[in-house]
Chain A
Amino acid sequence: MSSNHLPLETLNALADDELMPIDAGAVRAHLNECHNCSKQALEAYQLRTAVRRAAVRNVPSAEVLARLGAVTKSVRKQPTLWPILRNLGWQAAAALLLVAAALSGWKWISQSNSLASEVLDEHLATLSEASQPEVVSSDRHTVKPWFEGKLPFSFNLPEANTLPSDTVLIGADLTFIHGRQVAVLRFMIHRHRTSVFVAQVDPLNGLPNPQTLSGFQFVEARSAGLTFLGVGDVNAGELGNLVRSIASAQ
């Protein structure tokens, strides 16, 4: 494509009706005189139309629609654990269920406040052996830049040598808690997977601190307008040390 031709982005924007009228007029004037761009613009229109037809591939059955419709009616009725457990495989699911039942925490998951439920759901999802963080790294210089542009806030990670003993960063994820974007740092404390949720103060506000729920410790610390909420099955002291080391790095 020569420098006199319009870029594909512009031709696509024309096909997608995304141009301001004055720009669209200028583009059309160019198309009248440029066979190559005119052909590309026509292709963009044709492809858009064809994709629209072809991409409707999976039409839900009436039963599926009814089940999905039922979810929209239920307020806090649908637990989010079942899809996770089913995906973990029966062995892992059974183990998780056993742990939850043994700790008599199952009732809490469905009855306690939605914040704790969401946080615990997210943490439980990481306990599968197959589960890996979105970014897998023990290097804070890899993990921190990964969040750039993905969150409406930024935060620092402590140096590895300032973490509590036998505590290693293993990666990080992004998730939503109460509809707000939250960073999740994944650590191993001894052999226990531990999550530290990082958010601007409001989304994680509302949990008593510290707290034990379903056998999982919740420890919170605040710093620089951010909340750091640690969740794991290590003891509260070790979890607190980790959370505070992250908070003090801000």
Chain B
Amino acid sequence: MPSAINSAVLPERSAPTQRYSSKIAMMTSSRSIGDRFQDLAVPLLASLYNHACWLVRDTTEAEDLVQETLTKALRAFESFEEGTNFKAWVFRILRNTFLTSRASLASNRTVYLEDHPDSAELTDPGSTPESYAIQLDNLAVLRRALEDLPPHLREVILLSDLEELKYREIAIVLDVPIGTVMSRLARARQALRKLLQSTSGGAA
């Protein structure tokens, strides 16, 4: 079943002819590119800022990162295929802007970029007693556990659970195959459970 499910998760992206049509429609639209960019970008500002804060852990740097992301996205907006997912597109630019930033260097972006199955291999956290359920209600503990996750695991869990991106969209943002998204997300949740259980006094 797993392999069948893996292959059935995602449909193919739109065909080139559809993309070409959407490009034509974009170019011939009566609204300016700037207006359309604004329509799509403004609703995402808070999400981009919050995600940037998780990446750089500094509000000033996060604002700089989002500003640079928006500037790049605006410059490149003509290449955006209307009808495809703007959120995934702009989050990908955010991520790549972060990866080329000094803040990323400080957090060892080589590790960030690569998947490390061995280092992320975790034992099953075991049963989940009441204390674990209580930790799920404790925002401070949850945030601390998210902070303690390795960056590449925290990133995938935020894109999925908070930003509610679909696996195929996360694959676009991270530039990895969907199978990698699925396995990384599984490891991320397992690691988070383990962190929460250790905080609550240890796994059973």
Decide yes or no: A9 and B183 within 8 Å by CB, A51-B192, A68-B63, A76-B75 being known contacts: yes
Cβ distance B190 to chain A, nearest Cβ, rounded Å: 7
Which one of A6, A47, A114, A174 lies within 8 Å of B193 (CB-CB)?
A47
- A130/B102 in contact, CB under 8 A: yes
A72 to B146, CA, bound (A): 30
- B175/A150 in contact, CB under 8 A: yes
- B49/A134 in contact, CB under 8 A: no
Cβ distance B57 to chain A, nearest Cβ, rounded Å: 10
- A55/B161 in contact, CB under 8 A: yes
Does B83 sit within 8 A of A, measured CB to CB?
A: no
Which one of B61, B68, B161 lies within 8 Å of A52 (CB-CB)?
B161
- A125/B100 in contact, CB under 8 A: yes
> B84 contacts which chain A residues (CB < 8 A)?
none
- B37/A72 in contact, CB under 8 A: yes
Does A237 sit within 8 A of B, measured CB to CB?
A: no
B side interface size, CB within 8 A: 79
A118 to B6, CA, bound (A): 39
- A8/B102 in contact, CB under 8 A: no
Does A162 sit within 8 A of B, measured CB to CB?
A: no
Cβ distance B111 to chain A, nearest Cβ, rounded Å: 11
- A174/B96 in contact, CB under 8 A: yes
A46 to B62, CA, bound (A): 29
Does A191 sit within 8 A of B, measured CB to CB?
A: no
Which one of B63, B136, B175, B176 lies within 8 Å of A50 (CB-CB)?
B136
Q: Which of B33, B74, B167 has the most CB of A within 10 A?
A: B74
> B61 contacts which chain A residues (CB < 8 A)?
83, 87
Interface membership of chain B positions 88-102, coded 1 if the CB is closer than 8 angstroms to chain A and 0 otherwise: 000001001101111
Cβ distance B198 to chain A, nearest Cβ, rounded Å: 15
Cβ distance A45 to chain B, nearest Cβ, rounded Å: 11
Residues of A within 8 A of B (CB): 1, 6-10, 12-13, 16, 18-20, 23, 26-27, 39, 43-44, 46-48, 50-60, 64-65, 67-69, 71-76, 78, 80, 82-84, 86-88, 114, 118, 122, 125, 128, 130-132, 134-136, 149-150, 173-176, 178-181
Residues of B within 8 A of A (CB): 1-2, 4-6, 8-9, 33-34, 37-38, 41-42, 45-46, 48-50, 53-54, 59, 61-68, 70-77, 79-80, 93, 96-97, 99-103, 105, 109-110, 113, 124, 127-128, 133, 136-137, 139, 142-143, 146, 157-158, 160-162, 164, 166-167, 175-176, 182-183, 185-186, 189-190, 192-193
